[in-house]
Structure formats: C-alpha cells, structure tokens
C-alpha cells in the first residue's frame, strides 16, 4: 500500500524529491471544465462547506450558485430540523456552565482523594499499584465532565457533517480558532463549551465589534490569557482590607485587656486563625499587571503582528483592562464576568496615539475595544485571515482589499465582509481551485459527507480527528490551529489519511454509519471507477489517479472488494485532500 501511495502522490505532483507540498495546478479533468457552472458549484461546496455530499453539485446547479451563497449567509432562514433532532440526544447541550463547574469540583476532590490513597498505599507491590492506577483511569473516563467534554467534540463533528447551515459552521470553526482557548487549562475544562455556544456561535455572522467584546468579557478568555489575574500594582479587594481592619481592632481590644480568661484565649485563637486565612488569601492574590491578553488582543485578535503597536501600547492596554475579571468569591465557580473597580488602574494611558484620561473605569476598555474593531490594521489583518481560510494560503491582495472595503462600508458586519470575499474574482480564480489542503477536521468530515454517512453517537469520530493531529479545543498556543498546508502536509500525515480512507471504504472505521451500496456494484471495473470518480471526486480525478485506482481495484477478487478499494483510494487521493 505504501508503494501505491508514493506512486500516486508523486505522479500527481504532490511530492517532489526536495519537499512535501501541494501542487497548485488543478487536475486536468477540473481544468477542462473550469469555466462551467458545475466547476463553480464544486468550488463553492469545497470552500464554503465541509465538502459536497452525493448529489450536492447537481442540487446547486438547480438552485444557482450565487443564490445558494446568499442563502448560506443567512443561516437562520435555513431549516436545520434534522440536525436539531440529532443534537437533542446530546446531554452536554442541556447542561449549564455552573453544573459543569460543580462536576469539575467533584472531579478535583476525587483526584485528591485518589492521590491520598496512592500515597498511603505506597508500600503495595507493583501489581497492586498498577491495578489501582487502571481503576482510577477507568473511573475518571466515566466521570461526568470528561464524558461531556468528549461528547461536545462529537457535537462539533456532527454539526460539521450534517448541518444544512454549512457556511455558518465553517465560520464558527474559523472564529473559534481566531479567538482560541485551551480547554485543558484548569477551569477551561468547564468553561469552553459555554464559550463556544454562548460567545462564538451567536456572533459568528454578526458585527466583529460585538464578537470582540464578547470574547473579551468571556470567563474562558479571561482565564486562558490570565487577564482575570491582572490588577493595578498595589491594589487589593476592599473586603480583604476591611477584614484586616476588623482583626486589628480585635487585637487592640485584646491588648487593652478587655478579653480575659478562657473566653480571651478562645478569642485569641480565633484571631490567629482569621489572620492565617487573610494571609493565605493575600498569597493567592494577583500582585500586578499581566500582559498576556493585552498582547494577544493586539497581535492576534485585532491589529496583527505588523499592526503598528509598540510594547508601550501593550502595557497600556493591559492597564486599561485591569479589573476585567471573573467572579472569584467564596464558593464561586468563576463563570461570570465582573469588573473589579478596586483592581483598575485609574491613571492616564495612551494606546496607538489615543489618550485615556485619568479616573477612567470599565468604560475605557469598551472604548478601546471599539477603537480596535474599527482600526485599519484590524480590518486588513482579519480580512487577510478570512481570505487565507476561503481563498489561498497566501491571500491575494485584491481579496484582502475587498474584505476591507466591505468592513468600512458595513462597520464590521462579518456577513458583508465574508460576502465580499467569497464573491470576489480572487475567490473564483482558476489558480485557487483545489489548491488548499484540508485540515484533519475538514478531511474526516468531508469523507463522511462524500460517503453520505452519518456520525454515530459515540466520541470515536472526534478521536479520529485528534489522531490525525487536531484534537478539538485542545490547541495550547493562542494562535489556534493553522490554516495553511505546511502544518498538515507531510509524507506520514498523508499516509495516515490514506489508511483512514481505506478504513472508511471498508466499514472498518468506528464512529460512522453509511450504506456502501450508494455506489452500485458492477462486474465492469471501468464502470465502477467512473461511478466513484463521479460520486467521491466529482469528476476531478487526474488520469494518473484514475489509472492507479484501477490497478489497485483490479487486484480484488470480488466486485465488493474492488468497490471498497476504489472508494478508499479515492478518499485518500491527492484530489480529495484538496479543496
């Protein structure tokens, strides 16, 4: 199989002796029909959805490609009832962030107890310790929070595979990456689901300003990039200062002899305990400015690395955002945004030449975010990222310009910016068709859709995405998963995809249900080859790909096995890796 794969990718121009990459020249069959409406329909489906399903190209030809794009830009008008029925089976969508937080607390207590038992049982033999470790692992895998987090990954895959609102789901993924958080960081284990559901999804086709503010006030973002711990140097909560005053007053009364005897000793002990609690609280208190969120806000979320800001700007943005935090009181789960006036730096600041007078409060951060959302560097940076997603790894300047003009005209209406990009000449240019490489999520979901398959209700399909290098909501750097081919294309990655494709075709991949008879059997191998090229590759198979697919299928002794080989190698082909 490996020899076949090397022959296929070399013959298709994907692998050279010097490097691994994607040949940006579309296959000959696609070039021959490049100017036709069918080619436009296929390109729209490749870029604006998670891949065409059987018959989708023909359906678009009936609707009209331009009309279909307009419909996709208004997802609320598209009936998605079938998906809604499927999603109703997922418990995670009915569980509040507060309940997830309580599950996290229970889980933490259980882990501490397990650690205590392991310490006490350190004298046990190796076999007993290994048995206990396995039992703890099984129990943790069945705990509510890990199970629901895994279920939410499947919700993401299911939406991508089955939703009729395909462009919306693509944009949800884009913004989730743009405003990335890392679910494995402490409280984000229970905050991430709400972040995607309540912050990203409602704003994915709204105004960029609203999306930016929503992410800035999200507990998930405030925890992930540490702004919840950022305070003006020397500040402290008034409750802590009041508690210290009470302790000092009680200590003074003790010293004055107002409390004697047994009751005095008890009071002295109570005061010492209170002092210890205050000391522990003070040790946990943030002690000053944290620039993490301020830096990523400028570098990633808005202006871009070349957006014209300086280190002084980063510092003053961090100062403006002091006090933007989460509810962290006694018994709190940190699930709500709060502004701590006591933590806010009230001195003068300057960001990108714009002054913020002394005495400002929470509103000055709102002014800053609105200013950043309208800044020319933000328009260009975010439009460039959208063009990278929808058009080319190296976005054409004309595409970026189209996005910027739409941003200016619509005051940052994401719908209009996306419309300008996906209707621009750059989007439809022949050199950009079948030129982008699918991410693992896009590859797995596009394979499911191409087969007309349905994800089952286990986390296995999401685990397959993770095994290819893209575990959902678990990318640690704030950049989010990359959009360009260099991060996803290498010999090992493509071979793993081919193995998975062959597993899909033979029904050996758990997590999906599909009918192999969607492509009818035939004793005529060339007839089946044509059917697979039509159904899976939408007639884009190059002569070299089709030749090698036929050679491999000819090795099968039964038509059923020949069909599985044709489907598997089609899904693993260079043409299917592109979009």
Q: What is the pLDDT along the chain (579 residues), one digit of tens a residue?
A: 444 444 444 333 333 222 222 333 444 444 444 458 999 999 999 999 999 999 999 999 999 999 999 999 999 999 999 999 999 999 999 999 999 999 888 888 777 776 666 666 655 566 555 555 555 544 444 468 999 999 999 999 999 999 999 999 999 999 999 999 999 999 999 999 999 999 999 999 999 999 999 999 999 999 999 999 999 998 877 665 655 566 665 666 666 665 454 455 666 666 666 665 655 555 556 668 999 999 999 999 999 999 999 999 999 999 999 999 999 766 678 899 999 999 999 999 999 999 999 999 999 999 999 999 999 999 999 999 999 999 999 999 999 999 999 999 999 999 999 999 999 999 999 999 999 999 999 999 999 999 998 888 888 999 999 999 999 999 999 999 998 988 888 888 888 998 889 888 888 777 777 777 788 898 999 999 999 999 999 999 999 999 999 999 999 999 999 999 999 999 999 999 999
- The domain boundary, picked from 373, 404, 424, lies at 373
Answer positive or negative: Cα dihedral of 188, 194, 197, 200.
negative
Structure tokens at 484: 């360009």
Together in a domain, 61 and 114: no
Asked whether residue 93 falls in the same domain as residue 144, the answer is yes
- Dihedrals phi, psi of 578, to nearest 5 degrees: -95, 165
Q: Are 153 and 160 in contact (CB under 8 A)?
A: no
Q: What's the predicted TM-score (pTM) here?
A: 0.86
Residue 307 domain-assigned?
yes
222 in any annotated domain: no
Pair 366, 382 in one domain: no
Which of these three, 351, 373, 395, is where a domain ends? 373
Q: How far apart are CA 220 and CA 479, in angstroms?
A: 15
pLDDT digits (tens, 9 = 90+) for 205-223: 999 999 999 999 999 999 9
Domain that includes residue 537, residue range: 2-72+436-577
- Based on the fold, state whether residues 404 and 356 are members of the same structural domain: no
Residue 444 lies in a domain: yes
Are 58 and 105 within one domain?
Answer: no
499 in a structural domain: yes
For 36-85, the pLDDT digits (tens) are: 899 999 999 999 999 999 999 999 999 999 999 999 999 999 999 999 99
Domain count, the chain: 5
* pLDDT of res. 125: 60
**Would 199 be classed as within a structural domain?**
yes
Judge if 302 and 315 occupy the same domain. yes
CA dihedral 80, 157, 528, 63 (to 10 degrees): 30
Same domain? 300 vs 277: no
Is 99 in the same domain as 197? yes
Q: What's the rounded Cα separation, in Å, for the pair 452 and 518? A: 8
CA atoms within 13 A on the CB side of 192: 28
Note whether 316 and 272 are same-domain residues. no
In-domain check, residue 412: yes
92 and 14 housed in the same domain: no
Is residue 243, in this structure, part of any structural domain at all?
yes
Q: DSSP of 53-106, one letter per residue?
A: PTTHHHHHHHH-HHHHHHHHT-GGGS--HHHHHHHTT-GGGGS-HHHHHHHHHH
Given 267, 284, 301, which residue is the final one in a domain?
284
Q: Say if CB 391 and CB 427 are below 8 A apart.
A: yes
| Sheet strands (E) in 429-564 | 454-455, 512-513
* Whether residues 299 and 406 fall in one domain: no
Residues 319 and 405 in one domain: no
pLDDT in the model for residue 243 = 55
Q: How far is CA 421 from CA 23, 48, 386, 410, 464, in A?
A: 23, 11, 8, 14, 32
The pLDDT, as a whole number, for residue 303 is 98
Residue 277's pLDDT is what?
61
């Amino acid at each position: 199989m490996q020899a076949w794969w090397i022959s296929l990718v070399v013959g298709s121009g994907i692998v050279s002796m010097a490097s691994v990459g994607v040949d940006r020249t579309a296959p000959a069959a696609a070039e021959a029909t490049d100017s036709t409406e069918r080619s436009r329909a296929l390109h729209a489906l490749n870029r604006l959805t998670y891949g065409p399903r059987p018959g989708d190209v023909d359906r678009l030809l009936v609707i009209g490609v331009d009309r279909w794009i307009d419909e996709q830009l208004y997802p609320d008008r598209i009936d998605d009832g079938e998906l809604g029925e499927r999603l109703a089976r997922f418990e995670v969508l009915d569980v509040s962030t507060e309940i997830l937080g309580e599950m996290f607390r229970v889980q933490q207590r259980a882990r501490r107890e397990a650690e205590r038992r392991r310490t006490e049982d350190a004298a046990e033999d190796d076999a007993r310790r290994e048995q206990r470790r396995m039992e703890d692992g099984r129990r943790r895998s069945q705990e509510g929070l890990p199970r629901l987090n895994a279920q939410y990954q499947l919700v993401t895959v299911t939406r991508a595979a089955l939703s009729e609102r395909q462009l919306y789901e693509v944009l949800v993924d884009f913004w989730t990456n743009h405003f990335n958080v890392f679910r494995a960081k402490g409280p984000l284990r229970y905050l991430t689901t709400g972040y995607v559901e309540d912050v990203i999804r409602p704003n994915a086709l709204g105004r960029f300003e609203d999306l930016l503010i929503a992410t800035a006030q999200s507990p998930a973002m405030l925890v992930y990039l540490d702004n919840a711990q950022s305070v003006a140097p020397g500040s402290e909560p008034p409750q802590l200062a009041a508690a210290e005053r009470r302790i000092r007053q009680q200590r003074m009364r003790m010293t004055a002899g107002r409390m004697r005897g047994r009751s005095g000793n008890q009071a002295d002990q109570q005061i010492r305990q209170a002092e210890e609690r205050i000391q522990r609280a003070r040790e946990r208190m943030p002690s000053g400015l944290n620039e993490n969120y301020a830096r990523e806000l400028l570098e990633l979320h808005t202006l871009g690395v070349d957006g014209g800001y300086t280190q002084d700007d980063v510092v003053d943005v961090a100062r403006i955002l002091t006090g933007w935090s989460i509810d962290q009181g006694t018994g709190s789960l940190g699930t709500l945004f709060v502004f701590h006036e006591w933590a806010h730096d009230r001195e003068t600041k300057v960001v990108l030449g714009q002054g913020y007078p002394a005495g400002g409060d929470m509103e000055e951060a709102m002014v800053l975010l609105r200013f950043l959302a309208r800044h020319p560097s933000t328009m260009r940076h975010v439009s460039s990222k959208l063009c990278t997603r929808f058009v080319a790894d190296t976005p054409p300047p004309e595409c970026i310009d189209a996005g910027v003009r739409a941003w200016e005209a619509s005051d940052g209406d994401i719908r209009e910016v996306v419309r300008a990009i996906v209707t621009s000449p750059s989007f439809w240019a022949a050199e950009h068709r079948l030129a982008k490489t699918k991410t693992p999520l896009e590859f797995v979901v596009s394979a499911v859709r191409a087969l007309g398959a349905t994800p089952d209700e286990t986390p296995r399909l999401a685990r397959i995405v993770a095994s290819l290098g893209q575990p959902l909501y678990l990318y640690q750097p704030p950049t989010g998963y990359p959009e360009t081919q260099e991060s996803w294309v290498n010999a090992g990655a493509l071979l793993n995809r081919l193995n998975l494709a062959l597993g899909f075709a033979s029904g050996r991949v758990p997590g999906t249900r599909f009918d192999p008879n969607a492509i009818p059997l035939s004793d005529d191998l060339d007839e089946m080859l044509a059917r697979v090229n039509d159904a899976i590759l939408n007639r884009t198979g190059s002569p070299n790909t089709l030749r090698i697919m036929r050679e491999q299928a000819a090795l099968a002794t039964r038509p059923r096995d020949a069909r599985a080989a044709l489907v598997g190698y089609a899904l693993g082909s260079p043409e299917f890796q592109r979009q």
